[in-house]
Amino acid sequence: MAVPYHVKIIEQCDVSPPPDSVIPPISLPLTFLDIPWLLYPSYQTLFFFPKPPLKSTTTTVISLLKKSLSTTLHHFHPLAGNLSAPPPPAEPHLTYTKGDSVSLTIADSNANINNISGNHPRNVVNLYSLLPKLPIPSMPRDPHLTLVLPLLAIQVTFFHDLGYSIGVTTQQVAADERTLDQFIKCWASVCKSLLNKDSFAGFKSTPLFDRSVISDPNSLKTTFLKQWWSRLNSSEVSGEEVDQNIVQATFILTSSDINMIKYHILEKCKMINEDPPLHLSPYVSVCSFIWICLLKVEEAHDSRGTSSSSPLYLGFNAGGTSRLRDEIPSAYFGNCIAFGRCRAFRSELLGEDGVVFAAKSIGKEIKMLDKDVLGGAERWICEWDELNVRVLGSPKVDSYGMDFGWGKVDKVEKLSSHQNCRANHVISLTGSRDLKGGIEIGVALSKAKMAAFTALFNGGLMKLV
């Protein structure tokens, strides 16, 4: 008889920047690129690592992770602070004062790390047990009180000396994936230096906290604040229990697979006398293929008979550091991403040439963002509510090279619950660990739909060979 899965908490502590750190209290205003993320409570990432060498005991690993985290927070101290949201019309902001800290949980699991970090379908409840929780932004019962929420929590889980995971949960209002990646890589570098008894020369790109580099020519901050306040006053943002029937699996497309999809789209365009997509990158090719697979799964399992003329929407994040009017330094701390929403009709997407219309829609949106990244931005928040599919993450963020000193990352998982992303389906994209130019796709579905999706994914690729 199988032993029931469990995760046991063995320690909970708070980690602050080193006591001798000279960090003055700060208050960072939110920019218009931060405000929309107040509606999306947390960004969650799991990193699975191999077993440390025998000479490094669990106690040693924990000690070095704590010490290096403290040193890293000296550089990224706002993450040890809080989101402070006073009653309207005062604006929310990020604060840090001496003594602020990050919650660190140390846990132990009886799971087989190779099983829980594999590519096959795994219960998301088990994956979420490896992630720390953060409070969800909501209106206090007393409208005169200021809402104060921590920005970052971390959980380290050991798997019976067979490896360990690091789960990171961040309030998305504090940092985008780019900033979070810089923080974790800095932490890994410090830890590796301590393990090897090397002197840490400092992170090569010191975070930039200057919010004045983000200009707001269209007064979008005012627009977004009004929309956030309106939503808070109309109903509280609340979390939901994770569906026990949902599983998450990872699908991999090699560079050859992606080129096949691209070639198929271009050939189909010639056959049906359609202009090729305005932009057909690997990202567009992958998203188009996955969008069609998901839609076919929904069509087979949904008996509501949705009209074929109804529009469907796919949303994704678009980097803003090079698209904004003033190019933003890569070291900028905060959110610097825009929102893209693609629209296509159900009848087009479900037709024989659905992947063509998907690619044309996504490619057109990316070209529009390249031309005017803030065009129609005042509708970003309301347009999120219309999404059928939401794409998280970017293959351009390289997490697999990360090494805390005991070996590089074995697997990266990005998780987000459906209610937090306001979409029927959420998929995540990560650059492949082993295959140059490959992309890993994280998909969460019910068990029955996952089986159907797997068949469509593999069958669709076979047809292209």
Per residue in 299-329, pLDDT (tens digit) is 887 755 566 678 999 999 999 998 998 889 9
- Whats the size of the chain, residue-wise? 465
Q: Residue 450 and residue 300: Cα distance in Å, rounded?
A: 12
Q: Is the dihedral of CA 206, 91, 41, 364 positive or negative?
A: negative
Say what the pLDDT of residue 304 is: 58
Per-residue exposure over 36-49, b if at least 16 CB sit within 10 Å of its own CB, e if not: bbbbbbbbbbbbbb
Quickly count: other Cβ atoms within 10 Å of residue 171's Cβ. Answer: 25
Say what the pLDDT of residue 326 is: 85
Rounded to the nearest 10 degrees, how much is the dihedral formed by the CA atoms of 72, 74, 78, 80?
Answer: 70
Per residue in 171-230, pLDDT (tens digit) is 999 999 999 999 999 999 999 999 998 876 656 668 999 999 999 989 999 999 999 888
Residue 420 scores a pLDDT above 50: no
Q: Residue 450 and residue 249: Cα distance in Å, rounded?
A: 8
Q: Which of 148, 186, 168 is nearest to 102 (CA)?
A: 168
Indicate the pairing of strand 152-158 with strand 82-85: unpaired
Place 422 in a pLDDT band, splitting at 50, 70 and 90. low
H/E run at residue 314: strand 311-319
Q: Residue 228 and residue 233: Cα distance in Å, rounded?
A: 9
Say what the pLDDT of residue 147 is: 86
Say what the pLDDT of residue 419 is: 44
Highest mean pLDDT among 67-71, 231-235, 414-418: 67-71
Residue 96 scores a pLDDT above 70: yes
H/E run at residue 391: strand 389-392
Read off the pTM. 0.94
Indicate the pairing of strand 439-446 with strand 246-253: antiparallel
Place 384 in a pLDDT band, splitting at 50, 70 and 90. confident
What does each C-alpha distance from 180 to 216, 241, 402, 427, 443 come to in angstroms?
Answer: 23, 26, 13, 19, 22
Residue with tokens 């003594």: 99
- Angle 203-209-211 from CA coordinates, rounded to 5°: 150
Per residue in 224-269, pLDDT (tens digit) is 999 988 887 654 444 556 677 899 999 999 999 999 999 999 999 9
Contacts of 307 (CB under 8 A, 6+ apart): 346
Burial of 179 by CB count in 10 Å (0-12 exposed, 13-18 middle, 19+ buried)? buried
- Residue percentage of the chain with pLDDT more than 70: 91
Place 292 in a pLDDT band, splitting at 50, 70 and 90. very high
Q: Which of 78, 183, 83 is nearest to 135 (CA)?
A: 83
Q: Residue 283 and residue 286: Cα distance in Å, rounded?
A: 5
Q: Residue 85 and residue 151: Cα distance in Å, rounded?
A: 13
Residue with tokens 């970052």: 152
Residue ranges of alpha helices (H) inside 149-254 are: 177-195, 220-234
3-state helix, strand, coil in the chain (%, to 5): 35, 25, 40
- Angle 317-123-392 from CA coordinates, rounded to 5°: 5
Sheet of 122-123, strands arranged across: 122-123, 246-253, 439-446, 425-431, 389-392, 311-319, 337-345
